[in-house]
């Protein structure tokens, strides 16, 4: 695997190496504790009653028979939550967990039971009598936007919505600059198309699970699998009207999240069942529940219009984006509008975006939320224009690429970014120049993600034996414990095996934002380095004390305190361990802390190349070769960076080829399981070849950029472009499933 390093910034010792993952053995031997693995004395089992109707008015929920069943300890409905806190600010989040007045999607829960075992709970669920009136429903964007569409929810519409739409169109935004009309008139070819992508699920292997214990005195403990236990605390303490300090949330090991575990689905229910029964309550979702009632990503309907000169220069670009993310408002449409043209330096550009309510479960974040759908449309049109002018698709992208100083389509002006270098690496890679055979096609696409920083706290404790414990507050979904330990070891100048990083509960550190936005290696890494610097200052002070010299006459270098300056003397340098061992006599234990709301995360770009072969008789597409190029700023643990690039690519490939939420004409989900919701299996894919570039991010001491999300963005268009070139038919709707592709091939033959 190639490693291209344009300008190394530092000679690292630990950074850039590939140590074994610290959590690996526990995970592969089944010892790691996941969400469903926890138990408590007198624990009850919680189960939700879900209604398989897309839209209905709840008339009555009779729990009296179920309550009388021996072994049933508590039953809750939305009414119980109203009693606790009628004005909680997470009402929409709660209403997605358990229906209030209306059932809003197929699989929406209306009640929950806690019982002594699952068998009793299952029986009790069947004894709850729900009376409801079916309502007209709406599943797809086009239908939901029409003036006479069934209304999913009243009163959600923002003031800035243009006329002519139904009340389901609730949010709108626009970005851009320049004169579009002028730009298009300068072009020599304009292509405009409408693109569609389906709703897809993150497909994490571990279903949501939690164990809750809450008392009447407003004290609660919650263990759950989540990407952000501080966020779980914020939501739940508000719903239950208790102080943050009284709800302790502990994150379990996590079997994947990809954005889908950044909110709550069962945690408030388990707390309510526990509060009402007085016993701890565990809830574990089934896979069917995960598909039906957690948060898939938005589906999309996007118009893109781009004008180009025959030289390949883009003169103007415009996108109208429509996202549907279920029955509740969300912000993903805005991220789509901002990311659509981020890869290009454009004089005239405009994006508009709408969010539309439908009778589907509320969307949740999914790896670079909102970017893949918009960029899919843009990168497909650019490829079509390249074909029209017979221009090299990478040359055209290099010609138009955003660079340092580019005013981005969404406003900010870019600092150092690695896009051009990434495109050039792709152009010079042997993959790009390998000949293709009949029925084969090569696709290219750029990808982009903003990356976030955010609220972060780290404590770094120096133990008496000279080892170091790093305490952070972000669940490790992509190997962050390893990279955090590496950064601590690097900064302190000690070996990696002396450092262990753990994830603390919500009472052990200040607030940490969710593990999302590819923020952890960047932000927690930054805080860890600063905490290590603070600890080094203290270590120098202690050395000064031991030597009886001035504090500022001691410097820290490669793990040792050295006397420095003219009058410091010639003392033997002291190691971290030497100082730690006697720290009890020099002022007590030594630690470093850092708390920050991190900024300057640095945007991330990637470029993917894919070769496919399409079977003209069945419409089946085989991925022959796949290479992903991405700027990591600095790869702390290159294997993890490669893993992120490969993982995102595979999820994007699944999205492009087979994955989709399929609803029937009764508004019911047809494929809530891994048999008919087809994520790729290993044998479907060639080795995804990752090429890491390192263009340092000026906002991080070691140059780190987040790498977790960008890689899911390019596969959609890259594969669409490859299949379009292989079949000589332009596709504009995902997934490129065999029936769809075959239908297009046969229609063309007629």
Partner 1 sequence: MIFAKPSSEKEAISLLNETSGMTRILSGGTDVLVQMKSGAIEPELIVDIKNIPGIKHIKAVSGGYEIGAAVSGSEFNNYPGLKDFTPGIAEAFDLIGSSQIQGRCTLAGNLCNASPAADTIPALSVSSCFAKIVGPNGFREDLVKNIPTAPGKNSLKKGEFIKSIIIPNRPDYSSDSYIRFTPRSEMDIAVVSAACFITLDKNQLIKDLKISLGAVASTVVHVDGLCDLVMDSKITDELLSKIAMICSSSCKPIDDKRGTIEFRSHVAGVLAKRAMILAHKRAGDKIEKIAR
Binding stretches for partner 1 (CB under 8 A): 617-620, 657-658, 662, 670-671, 675-676, 678, 680-681, 683-684, 737-739, 742-743, 746
Minimum CB distance to partner 1, residue 207 (Å): 14
Measure the CA–CA gap between 50 and 555, rounded to whole angstroms. Answer: 64
Measure the CA–CA gap between 233 and 264, rounded to whole angstroms. Answer: 10
Strands, sheet with 590-598, edge to edge from the N-terminal-most edge strand: 499-503, 468-472, 454-462, 590-598
Minimum CB distance to partner 1, residue 587 (Å): 59
Minimum CB distance to partner 1, residue 685 (Å): 9
By C-beta, is 357 or 744 nearer to partner 1? Answer: 744
Minimum CB distance to partner 1, residue 292 (Å): 14
Nearest to 269 by CA among 293, 243, 253, 297: 293
- DSSP annotation of 681 reads P
Minimum CB distance to partner 1, residue 744 (Å): 12
Minimum CB distance to partner 1, residue 651 (Å): 15
Measure the CA–CA gap between 255 and 407, rounded to whole angstroms. Answer: 39
126 Cβ neighbours under 8 A, 6+ residues apart: none
Find the DSSP H helices in 210-331: 229-239, 267-277, 287-293
Minimum CB distance to partner 1, residue 297 (Å): 19
Nearest to 480 by CA among 448, 532, 515, 527: 515
Minimum CB distance to partner 1, residue 606 (Å): 25
By C-beta, is 614 or 658 nearer to partner 1? Answer: 658
Per-residue burial over 176-214, b if 16 or more Cβ lie within 10 Å, else e, is: bebebeebbebbeebbeeebbbbbbbbbbebbbbbbbbb
- How far are the Cα atoms of 100, 234, 279 from residue 284, in angstroms, in the given order? 22, 22, 16
Burial class of residue 575 (count of CB atoms within 10 Å of its CB; 0-12, 13-18, 19+): middle
Minimum CB distance to partner 1, residue 150 (Å): 24
By C-beta, is 13 or 678 nearer to partner 1? Answer: 678
38 Cβ neighbours under 8 A, 6+ residues apart: 211, 223, 252, 282
CB of 553 closer than 8 Å to CB of 563: yes
By C-beta, is 548 or 739 nearer to partner 1? Answer: 739
By C-beta, is 585 or 618 nearer to partner 1? Answer: 618
Check whether the bond before 423 is cis (ω within 30° of 0). Answer: no
Minimum CB distance to partner 1, residue 663 (Å): 10
Measure the CA–CA gap between 300 and 332, rounded to whole angstroms. Answer: 11
By C-beta, is 238 or 621 nearer to partner 1? Answer: 621
By C-beta, is 29 or 683 nearer to partner 1? Answer: 683
Torsion, Cα 82 87 88 90, to 10 degrees, reads 90
By C-beta, is 586 or 671 nearer to partner 1? Answer: 671
By C-beta, is 345 or 613 nearer to partner 1? Answer: 613
By C-beta, is 423 or 736 nearer to partner 1? Answer: 736
By C-beta, is 180 or 679 nearer to partner 1? Answer: 679
Per-residue burial over 676-708, b if 16 or more Cβ lie within 10 Å, else e, is: ebbbbeeeebeebbbbbbbbbbebbbbbbbbbb
CA angle 228, 157, 85 (to 5 degrees): 50
- DSSP annotation of 521 reads I
Minimum CB distance to partner 1, residue 659 (Å): 10
Nearest to 522 by CA among 392, 686, 709: 709
């Amino acid at each position: 695997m190639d490693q291209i390093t344009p300008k190394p910034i530092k000679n690292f010792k630990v950074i850039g190496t590939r140590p074994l993952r610290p959590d690996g053995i526990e995970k592969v031997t089944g010892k790691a504790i996941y969400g469903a693995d926890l138990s408590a004395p007198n624990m009850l089992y919680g189960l939700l009653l879900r209604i398989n109707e897309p839209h209905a008015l709840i008339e009555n929920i009779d729990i009296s028979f179920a309550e009388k069943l021996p072994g049933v300890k508590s039953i809750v409905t939305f009414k119980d939550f109203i009693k606790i806190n009628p004005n909680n600010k997470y009402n929409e989040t709660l209403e997605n967990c358990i229906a209030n007045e209306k059932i809003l999607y197929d699989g929406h829960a209306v009640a929950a039971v806690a019982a002594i075992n699952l068998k009793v709970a299952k029986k009790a669920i069947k004894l709850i009598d729900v009376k409801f009136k079916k309502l007209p429903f709406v599943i797809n964007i086009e239908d939901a936007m029409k003036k006479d569409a069934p209304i999913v929810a009243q009163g959600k519409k923002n003031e800035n919505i243009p006329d002519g739409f139904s009340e389901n169109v609730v949010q709108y935004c626009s970005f851009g600059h320049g004169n579009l009309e002028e730009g298009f008139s300068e072009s020599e070819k304009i292509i405009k198309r409408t693109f569609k992508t389906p709703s897809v699920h993150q497909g994490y292997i571990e279903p949501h699970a939690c164990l809750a214990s809450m008392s009447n005195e407003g004290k609660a403990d919650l263990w759950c699998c989540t990407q952000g236990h501080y966020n779980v605390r914020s939501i739940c303490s508000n719903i239950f009207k208790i102080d943050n300090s009284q709800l302790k949330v502990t994150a379990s090991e996590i079997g994947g999240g990809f954005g889908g575990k950044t909110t709550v689905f069962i945690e408030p229910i388990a707390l309510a069942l526990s509060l009402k029964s007085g016993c701890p309550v565990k809830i574990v979702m089934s896979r069917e529940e995960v598909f039906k009632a957690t948060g898939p990503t938005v589906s999309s309907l996007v118009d893109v219009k781009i004008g180009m000169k025959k030289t390949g220069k883009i003169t103007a670009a415009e996108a109208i984006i429509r996202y549907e993310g279920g029955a509740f408002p969300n912000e993903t449409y805005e991220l789509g509008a901002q990311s659509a043209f981020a890869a290009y330096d454009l004089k005239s550009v405009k994006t508009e975006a709408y969010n539309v309510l439908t009778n589907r479960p509320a969307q949740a974040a999914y790896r670079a939320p909102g970017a893949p759908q918009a960029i899919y449309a843009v990168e497909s049109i650019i490829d079509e224009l390249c074909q029209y002018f017979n221009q090299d698709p990478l040359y055209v992208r290099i010609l138009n690429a955003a660079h340092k100083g580019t005013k981005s389509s969404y406003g900010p002006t870019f600092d150092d970014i690695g896009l051009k270098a990434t495109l050039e690496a792709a152009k010079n890679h042997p993959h790009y120049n390998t000949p293709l055979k009949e029925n084969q096609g090569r696709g290219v696409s750029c990808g982009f993600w903003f990356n976030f920083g955010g609220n972060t706290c780290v404590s770094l404790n120096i133990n008496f034996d000279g080892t170091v414990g790093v305490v952070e507050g972000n669940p490790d979904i992509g190997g962050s414990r390893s990279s955090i330990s590496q950064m601590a070891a690097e900064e302190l100048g000690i070996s990696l095996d002396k450092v262990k990083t753990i994830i603390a509960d919500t009472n052990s550190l200040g607030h940490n934002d969710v593990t999302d936005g590819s923020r952890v290696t960047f932000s927690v890494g930054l805080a860890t380095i600063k905490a290590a610097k603070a600890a080094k200052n203290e270590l120098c002070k202690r050395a000064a004390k031991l030597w009886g010299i001035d504090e500022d006459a001691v410097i820290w270098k490669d793990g040792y305190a050295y006397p420095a300056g003219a009058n410091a003397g010639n003392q033997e340098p002291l190691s971290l361990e030497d100082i730690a061992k006697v720290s009890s006599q020099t002022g007590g234990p030594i630690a470093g802390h850092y708390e920050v709301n991190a900024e300057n995360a640095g945007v991330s770009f990637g470029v993917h190349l894919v070769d496919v072969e399409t079977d003209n008789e069945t419409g089946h597409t085989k991925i022959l070769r796949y290479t992903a190029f991405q700027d990591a700023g600095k790869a702390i643990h290159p294997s993890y960076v490669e893993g992120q690039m490969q993982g995102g690519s595979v999820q994007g490939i699944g999205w492009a080829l087979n994955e989709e939420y399929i609803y029937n004409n009764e508004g019911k989900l047809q494929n809530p399981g891994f048999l008919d919701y087809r994520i790729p299996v290993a044998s479907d894919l060639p080795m995804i070849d990752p090429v890491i570039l390192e263009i340092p991010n000026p906002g991080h001491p070691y140059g780190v950029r987040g790498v977790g999300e960008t890689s899911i963005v390019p596969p959609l268009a890259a594969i669409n472009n490859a299949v379009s070139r292989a079949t000589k038919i332009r596709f504009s709707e995902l997934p490129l499933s065999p029936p769809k592709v075959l239908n297009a091939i046969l229609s063309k033959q007629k």
